Structure 1
Amino acid sequence: MLDVLRYGITDYGVRFKLAYFKPASGLNPETLALYNQNILTITRQVRYSTCNENSIDLLLSINGLPVATVELKNQFTGQDVEKAKQQYRRDRDDRELLFQFKRRALVHFAVDPDEAWMTTRLDGSKTRFLPFNQGYNKGAGNPPNPNGYKTTYLWEEIWLKDSWLDIVGRFLHLEQDTIKLNGKSAKKESLIFPRFHQLDVVRKLTADAKAKGAGQNYLIQHSAGSGKSNSIAWLAYQLANLYNDYNARVFDSVIVITDRRVLDQQLQDTIYQFDHVAGVVQKVDRNASQLAEALASGTNIIITTLQKFPFVLDKIGELPKRNYALIVDEAHSSQGGEASKKMKEVLTVIDLSRSAKESGGSYGNEDEDEEDWVRKSMLSRGKQPNLSFFAFTATPKPKTLEVFGHLNNQGQPEPFHLYSMRQAIEEGFIMDVLQNYTTYKTYFRLTKAIADDPQIHKKKASKAIARFLSLHPHNLAQKTEVIVEHFRQCVMPKIGGKAKAMLVTASRPHVIRYKDEFDKYLKKQGYNDIKALVAFTAFIDRETGISYTESDINGFGERELPEKFETDEYQLLIVADKYQTGFDQPLLHTMYVDKKLSGVKAVQTLSRLNRTCPGKEDTFVLDFANEEQEIIDAFQPYYEQTLLAATTNPNRLYDLKNRIDSFQIIWTSEVVFCQGITNG
């Protein structure tokens, strides 16, 4: 259906255009006239089956072709948006032509007066709905509407002719992923419809760039789970085709700076669907001369790496008659090592005097990352009038916000657009890693309180807590025992027995020592169901002079680690700085922290746990090195209204038991008391 709407059909050599989309400029009046002839309709109570009298509440069509269905519910009749979702899952047969994936309706909305949700694929009980809400108070939902329903924006804004045709023409696209199934690769297709914040950020950025032209800075704070890759792809395409009110292109080229390996292919595939024109996106991965040629020739969209960022800035300064949009993807590389080292060297050479002054004459700062280097590189060159800068990050540092943020009504810098961690959590796209965060002091106090409880049979409880009580971890061997036993008892059964954990250590030598302690303890206990991997950049121990490499210890190359860690063979990953940021492994359930963390580094580190996957219901952090309040304070600027109990109180279990007893569902006589504790 999407292909037919965009490119028409050919019958006996005659080509028929079935829809016309609004041209980017007013240079062709004929195309604009054809666009104005599109007929958009909304039809009520549409019967869609030849087998029964079932009907859909609303059908949205373009020139008679169905593109969206809508189920409307009203709480006054005892029904809400959840009922609409269930209706799609249970009563709407995805074999019916109207509901067949890709062939007819492209998106299905579930709507009540308060919330809107949507899906592009009906699949019975497995149908997954995504929120299409504006967000409220930096969280989920919609803001109050004094003039009507909270979901009025759907028909007053989203479904209006210009908006709706823009979404169908320049946002909707088919995404193909390669997934592994039983050891074999398979193709998975998804039809991508923008979530509200994605649509909103692209439209607001392009509108502002159209009005102000080149020379602006934009900071976009979008949490993990926001779908940044798609947002960047849509933004790049639309900036490359942006014309001002005088029908002149705003940008001659759009440059996307990213280290995501999949983004360049995704960009090419997505943009090809919009235009069916090859060569719109050029990947620059060889050398500076290739990049210089692409910039000078005016290639529509150029995609390159963070390491080439300083060269891009210099080259743009040499081409004052051309305007550029520079989109920088979140600059937190998980790989660390040589790539980051080279980039740091390049930027320090460019800005050596400034760097020396800021660091008190010393070179390097372990807390600095690519975001700092990008900011310093921009500042060293000053504002360039032919360059607009669009920076996407989940965790902007205060200095970044100060340099690139927009001033609000109180004169404070803030992001141009926000999709907060809180909203991502409330909408179910990431996990709340603070929900089960605890320091070892609290954990120890809890286990002691349980041990001292006169109502608990000591023999039954001893297996669970005795080991922890006898180990107040003052050294690595004791901490190793705590970690391994906690992992075996509490973590291994999670996510269907596939849960994994990460140990964050203070330094690379600590990684080596921890790995030795893990191997000793696992061998001593005869545990064959746990294996640990390490991740660190190669180094030479100053005390012993011994050289250590990750591949020597793991027994395979560094690039293989993410894939190896995903298998059932390995459960624990011991890291220093490497993989502390930018590493996405949804099976990570628990993190053990033995390193002082503060500020944005604390947020980035703990956020390794926040990815969702089927069967993952919670996460857990056991912190040996930090105070609870320090972590809460670190999350506050990005989390929005962090709520975390100050202590864990075992008496709350009795409160919960009393509440359960009051429902008279569970009877004491029906409870089976198990001797000992199993992994289940």
Structure 2
Amino acid sequence: MVERELQSQKKVKKWLIEDLGYRFLGNKQDQDNTAILEDVLLDNLRKRGYDDSLAKRAVREIVALTKNQQKSLYDLNKEIYSLLRYGFKAKPKPDSKPVTIQYIDWNVVENNDFSFAEEVTVRCLDERYRKRPDIVIYINGIAVCVFELKRSSVSLNEGIRQNLTNQRKENIAHFFDTIQLIFAGNESEGLNYGVIETPEKFFLNWKEDTKAEDQLSISIRELINKDNQPLRAGLISLCHKERLLEIMFHFMIYDAGVKKTCRHNQFFANIAARKAVQENRGGVIWNTQGSGKSLIMVWLTKWIIENITDSRVIIITDRDELDDQIESLFDDVDEKIVRAKSCADLRDLLNSHEARVMCSLIHKYGHDAGKQSDVDAYTEELLKALPKGFEARGNIIAFIDECHRTNSGKLHAAVKAIMPNATLIGFTGTPLLKKDKKTSIETFGPYIHTYKFDEGVEDGVILDLRYEARDVDQNLQDEDKIDTWFEIKTEGLSERAKNQLKQSWTTMNKLYSSGERLQRIAADILFDMNVKPRLRTNRGTAMLVAGSIYEACKYYEIFTAKGFNKCAVVTSYEPSQASVRTATSSLTEESEDEFKKRIYENMLAGKSVSEFEAEAKELFKKQPGKMKLLIVVDKLLTGFDAPSATYLYIDKSMRDHDLFQAICRVNRPDGEDKDYGYIVDYMDLFKSLQMAITDYTSEAFDEFDAEDVEGLIKDRYEEAKAEMVGALNSLSELLSGVPYPQSDQDYIKFFCGESEEERKEDEFTDRRDTLYTLVASATRSFASCSDRLVSHFNYDSAQVKDIRDKIREYNQLKDLIKLASCDYIELKPYEADMRFLLDTYIHAEPSQVLSSLDNMSLTELLVQRNTTTTVDQIFKSIPGDDNSRAETIENNLRHEIVRKLKTNEVYYGKMSEMLEDVIRRRKIEALTYKEYLKAVVDLANSVIHPEEAGGYPDTVKDSEAKRALYDYFNKDEPLTVAIHYAVKGAIEPGWKGYKPKQNKVKRAIHNVLVEFKYDNAEASTNQIAETNEIYDLIQKQVEYDD
């Protein structure tokens, strides 16, 4: 570990001791450690007054569990957590009552021993290897937290990946059986946390709630403010003794095979709600869509049942899907919930004490969710025929889901009529309407906790959204779009095939010009499917919201007619004979009802609607390449279990909450290549784009308070222009460091250094990464706002042309540096999108050959056999002057040689010498241009195709490993072949990581050497040395991998 990492570790040690009062156990590097310090645990149990024999039995019980490695990490961790939370029950004597031994005193913090150790060495499953977490926190000798710390210049993601590697079965998964929180941090990014098996993308940063009023939160904020350094703040927030116990006891959950803990918004929502419940007052919890509202319900329910005397919780929803989801979630987390199947059933449940947690549905059908008639019917049925002496028994807390709806006041009255003493808490993921806000607050009480959309975006819990209004009449007449689509779709096709496709396009174009609106929108979406990176690569999906079931079916017909079959309609429609019994009005024309029935029956292909929808949703979520588009009307637009997508196409008039919830279908994170959710609006829902996107109070969102919806969608043009200006300024500042006269070679030296070693140094790597990021940012943002710079931002055409020329030059410089540094193999996250945008908005592509470098190195390009491109054309296509082009080729050759050198030092050592000779001769002008090109092509051919250029015999040339042995043995063909087949016969799966199998390979090598070179089998010093040398060479050959 370098000094700077040690400094981070020293600081964490200091803060744990001085700020949090932990006891330091020392450095554990020189001993093998386990997850439980038995002596410390036994000593604490004795101090807390437990009988000595019972304390020893409790220690044996938990230690035995950690040694049971037949179970998965998830199952063992769950079992041990249950033991920690609920204690070990044992009888002091056979005839006595059982006693509960608590390993941790959850009520009195001071009764526990909080300690930590550093450099905790742990033996792997393969006992020859060790892993060493930086810091481990123990409570009463039980390991509960693990830290991996990095220096400020190294991403904390490396620490996350290190933690995940350690949890592999073959490493130290057994040490994580007791672990509750896992940390990775550095001084620049702070501290991220997760639990066992948490994927890297779900590790989160904690944030204190400045509005939290409980005494613990106030104390923690005051302590943090003494030295508000990110790493220290995260440590104090999560490892403060009382806070750590709180999270461990109340906020761990095992959800259908996945362990989870709380995000900060879920934690503080619960803390705030507890106070409201204890004071018998209701209120509203507004946590934005996608931020984990359902788990807030689960954790709050559990706390209420455990802490409020005679308490009962009922969850009331107004959608079938939500009712199903809530029941399913409680089942998944092993919490018993009883589902009331009718109002009579609910009355019976309330009139008895048996059920502690219940859920009830307002209406019996999911389609008209939340309509006033449903609430009226629910109220009437709930109150009618109340049995004599009816009383809703117990201390009831009622959760009203989706409390933002207009009818919540009437529902509140109905619930209060049958449960007059209940405390009502409303949950919503969307803002309250201005016209309902006063009523809602009067009904439920004030906001208990809020976590708004922009807060979720800032925390990375949900994604920001990008909005685009499309004018259907203009989009498909755009020749640039058509050309782009055509070039992408015809890449690699013959001219004949291209002509056939052109004919097909001409036919489709007639349909577009017919004025049929749905045809145009469908074709527009198909265009996106073929050019938008996440849709084109089958990583992302889209949803289309149609105006009616008929329109949804029409869309489906259009898509399938165009050959796009990766779509499905999901609506409330059920095809049946009854649905068309009176639908026929003409024997020659199909009615709308008959049309819907025919489309549905063709789509279902014999399956029931429920079976088909379940299959379509599963494919959409898990195999997007097979189901890329769902066409909906009302269904699937709400609920935590509703599928998420990347693009949402809206062709339906929507307002307020319906619109808010619909657009939140695309705000869920889904891998590093999903940066935003995209909203494409065909209905002009945001009449005035400027106002709508600035404060959300125009048209579609005019009924929201502006502060409640701040940050939902950004003005993409304003943001793009700001991003463009910032990127161009940063590029200018970056390039000001290039010394004059700023020739191509000056740029290469500035970004790549003057040697292979310098090129790899962090200084030059970081400098190049900055260049690539800024150029990509400038290109992307200019493409997004270029057509508005004159009309919206008062640029003149000359300024726009100057920016376009600058960006073209920056892209040429980027290509020059990428080639010279051999960075072309590192595809940047936006590379595909950038190529599309460059083609669309910047027409002067610097080189056509560069496109083929996407999947081929320059060295391979020089020697490829399947191209008509000449070497001279390749050379001329490289950015820069002749000297910089030559350096680019030489750097690429050197990179290829260095990469392969370890596999055959003899052969590629000669190649390296030959390259240096070519470079020397070029620099002293001893080679003509033509001779130089021939020399580099010959050298490239020798590097890429040594089997052709190395003069190897037929028995050797077909194998890279045999060629390496042949060169090592100075062209001894029999010995080469003998060693090769001896090694092939000796290797076994996993041999490179297992000592006994490695020794078997070494013995095979030694036996051949004895046969060919040595007089006796006695292992002399020379024999051992040569055997080891050959073994090292063998290990480097990919051919001998498992």
TM-score under structure 1 length normalisation: 0.70
Q: CA deviation at 1:564?
A: 2.8
Q: CA deviation at 1:67?
A: 0.8
1:592 is aligned to: 649
Q: CA deviation at 1:643?
A: 1.9
Show the 5 A alignment for 1:562-641: 562-566=613-617, 567=619, 570-582=627-639, 586=643, 588-614=645-671, 617=674, 619-626=677-684, 628=686, 629=689, 632=693, 633=696, 637-638=708-709, 640=711
Q: State how far apart, in whole Å, the 1-side matches of 2:519 and 2:221 are.
A: 51
Q: State how far apart, in whole Å, the 2-side matches of 1:388 and 1:224 are.
A: 24
% identical aligned pairs: 18
Change (3 A) 1:65 1:96: farther
Cα pair 1:447 1:469 within 8 Å, conserved: no
Q: CA deviation at 1:108?
A: 0.6
Structure 2 residue 286 is matched with structure 1 residue 230: no
1:640 is paired with a residue of what secondary structure? coil
2:447 is aligned to: 415
Q: State how far apart, in whole Å, the 2-side matches of 1:498 and 1:129 are.
A: 19
Change (3 A) 1:379 1:18: closer
Cα pair 2:122 2:175 within 8 Å, conserved: no
2:812 is aligned to: 661
Cα pair 1:446 1:650 within 8 Å, conserved: no
Deviates more, 1:315-324 or 1:396-405: 315-324
Cα pair 1:97 1:104 within 8 Å, conserved: no
Q: State how far apart, in whole Å, the 1-side matches of 2:850 and 2:475 are.
A: 28
Q: State how far apart, in whole Å, the 1-side matches of 2:430 and 2:312 are.
A: 27
Once the two structures are superposed, what CA deviation does each residue of 1:155-196 show, in whole Å capped at 9, x if it has no partner?
5454333332232223213222xxxxxxxxxxxx22212122
Show the 5 A alignment for 1:441-590: 444=475, 447=478, 471=512, 474-483=515-524, 485-490=526-531, 494=535, 496-497=537-538, 499-519=540-560, 521-522=561-562, 527=563, 529-537=565-573, 544=591, 546=593, 548=596, 552=601, 554-555=603-604, 556-566=607-617, 567=619, 570-582=627-639, 586=643, 588-590=645-647
Once the two structures are superposed, what CA deviation does each residue of 1:483-536 show, in whole Å capped at 9, x if it has no partner?
4531542359737426443322222333344344445x42xxxx2654543524
Show the 5 A alignment for 1:352-363: none
Q: CA deviation at 1:234?
A: 0.6
Q: Which has the larger radius of gyration?
A: 2
Structure 2 residue 429 is matched with structure 1 residue 402: no
1:378 is aligned to: 412
Of residues 165, 168, 174, the one that matches 2:245 is 165
Q: CA deviation at 1:206?
A: 0.5
Q: CA deviation at 1:423?
A: 3.3
Cα pair 1:10 1:16 within 8 Å, conserved: yes
Q: CA deviation at 1:18?
A: 4.6
1:302 is paired with a residue of what secondary structure? strand
Q: CA deviation at 1:235?
A: 0.5
Q: State how far apart, in whole Å, the 2-side matches of 1:542 and 1:147 are.
A: 78
2:142 is aligned to: 65
Q: State how far apart, in whole Å, the 1-side matches of 2:116 and 2:818 are.
A: 51
Please, which runs of 5 or more residues in structure 2 have no aligned partner? 1-79, 94-98, 212-219, 365-374, 492-497, 586-590, 620-624, 719-783, 788-802, 820-845, 853-1042
Pairs aligned (count): 575
Show the 5 A alignment for 1:78-477: 78-79=153-154, 81-89=156-164, 92=166, 94-95=168-169, 99-100=173-174, 103-113=177-187, 115-122=190-197, 127-134=200-207, 146-149=225-228, 150=230, 152=232, 154-176=234-256, 189-210=257-278, 212=279, 214=280, 216-243=281-308, 249=309, 252-258=311-317, 259-268=322-331, 270=333, 272=335, 281-298=336-353, 299-307=355-363, 310=378, 319=391, 322-330=394-402, 371-378=405-412, 386-398=421-433, 399-405=435-441, 415-432=447-464, 434-435=465-466, 437-440=468-471, 444=475, 447=478, 471=512, 474-477=515-518
Cα pair 1:5 1:19 within 8 Å, conserved: yes
Q: State how far apart, in whole Å, the 2-side matches of 1:379 and 1:240 are.
A: 25
Once the two structures are superposed, what CA deviation does each residue of 1:620-659 show, in whole Å capped at 9, x if it has no partner?
4432211552763257643526322248435787665444
1:371 is paired with a residue of what secondary structure? coil
Higher strand share: 1
Q: State how far apart, in whole Å, the 1-side matches of 2:811 and 2:420 are.
A: 65
Structure 2 residue 785 is matched with structure 1 residue 649: yes
Change (3 A) 1:598 1:264: closer
Change (3 A) 1:304 1:252: same
Change (3 A) 1:415 1:101: farther
Cα pair 2:530 2:536 within 8 Å, conserved: no
Q: State how far apart, in whole Å, the 1-side matches of 2:643 and 2:672 are.
A: 10
Structure 2 residue 73 is matched with structure 1 residue 42: no
Cα pair 1:401 1:414 within 8 Å, conserved: no
Q: State how far apart, in whole Å, the 1-side matches of 2:148 and 2:242 are.
A: 23
Q: CA deviation at 1:403?
A: 3.1
Higher RCO, 1 vs 2 (CA within 8 Å, ≥6 residues apart): 1
Cα pair 2:143 2:179 within 8 Å, conserved: yes
Q: State how far apart, in whole Å, the 1-side matches of 2:570 and 2:392 are.
A: 48
Please, which runs of 5 or more residues in structure 1 have no aligned partner? 24-31, 177-188, 244-248, 273-280, 332-369, 408-412, 675-680
1:118 is paired with a residue of what secondary structure? strand
Q: State how far apart, in whole Å, the 1-side matches of 2:653 and 2:537 are.
A: 32
Cα pair 1:326 1:387 within 8 Å, conserved: yes
